[in-house]
Amino acid sequence: MNPALRKTVIAGNWKMHKTPAEAKALLGELLPLVKDAACQVIVCVPFVDLPAALEAAAGTCVAVGAQNCHWETSGAFTGEISPAMLTSMGVSHVILGHSERRTYFGETDQTVNRRLRAALQAGLCPIVCVGESLEQRQQGITQEFVSMQVKIALQGVSREELRRVTFAYEPIWAIGTGRTATAEQAGEVCAGIRATLAALYGKECAQGTTIQYGGSMNAGNAAELLAQEDVDGGLIGGASLKAPDFAAIVAAAR
């Protein structure tokens, strides 16, 4: 990370965990532990937990995010949530294009692009997830593949809007597997994403963009990953569900 050039951001992705009552309890435990955070802290919770999380986090340094949003403002899209619905509640952030959505729910680079443009238009700060499969890594196409995901996601996104976008490099083979990318692997791909951003928007914009690593990040490996120049934070799954573990990762981002 390089706090002189860009924000360090530690975000929790709770995925499909915690009822509203459990969310309230987890945040009650977490908030005192991260009150002196030197980085930006975000919790991305299930839709039904948003009211409880917003209430618990009000007036604290912790921002609240959702885990997806649709590209339309309203309409016949059963089961979907629009960006305007999120902002109307006070939600500031949203994860887009997570590999679990790509794998299980038919998300494509094109739909990620539509969601991203709509989220930006509504005033949200999106966290866009990209990352290769194990097969793609073994084929040696990681950088090209991730670069393509970044380019398609950003079609039609202005330089001004890019300031609100965070990227999360999440190698699929490292998610929930306990198999973390090495700090060098994480640093290399995050640097590749920055090079793609530089080619699209110029060096200054690229240097100002936060790029997180995600995939089995925990209290034990966070400091080493964050020591990489181009790893500006983390998107944390499993370890974000335990307040002391998540707080330890936040503390590592100093």
70 is catalytic: no
Under the criterion CB under 6 A, does residue 210 sit at the interface with ligand 13P? no
Query: Residue 157 has which token pair?
Result: 């996104």
Burial class (CB in 10 A: 0-12, 13-18, 19+), 24: middle
Q: How far apart are CA 223 and CA 241, in angstroms?
A: 19
Member of 49, 107, 132, 170 binding ligand 13P (CB under 6 A): 170
User: In angstroms, what is the minimal distance from the CB of 59 to ligand 13P?
Assistant: 26
| Residues 209-234 as b or e (16 or more Cβ within 10 Å = b) | bbbbbbbbbbbebbeebbebebbbbb
Q: Which stretch binds ligand 13P (CB under 6 A): 35-43, 139-147, 187-195, 208-216?
A: 208-216
The helix (H) or strand (E) run that includes residue 148 is helix 142-153
| Residue 169 structure tokens | 């490099």
Q: How far is the CB of 121 from ligand 13P (least distance, A)?
A: 24
Residue nearest ligand 13P, CB atom distance: 237
166 near ligand 13P (CB under 6 A): no
Tell me the per-residue interface mask from 94 to 133 with ligand 13P, x by CB under 6 A, - otherwise.
----x-----------------------------------
Strand-strand pairing, 9-13 and 62-66: unpaired
Q: Which residue, 196 or 221, has its beta carbon nearer to ligand 13P?
A: 221
Pick from 119, 196, 238, 246 the residue near ligand 13P by CB under 6 A.
238
Q: Is 93 a catalytic residue?
A: no
Q: How far apart are CA 177 and CA 100, in angstroms?
A: 13
Among 18, 214, 247, 251, binds ligand 13P (CB under 6 A): 214
Only segment of 25-33, 105-113, 204-212, 215-223 that touches ligand 13P (CB under 6 A): 215-223
Q: Give me the amino acid identity at 81.
A: I
The residues facing 10 across adjacent strands are 41, 234
In the complex, the residues that contact ligand 13P under the rule CB under 6 A are 13, 98, 170, 175-176, 214-217, 235-239
List residues with catalytic annotation.
Answer: 98, 170
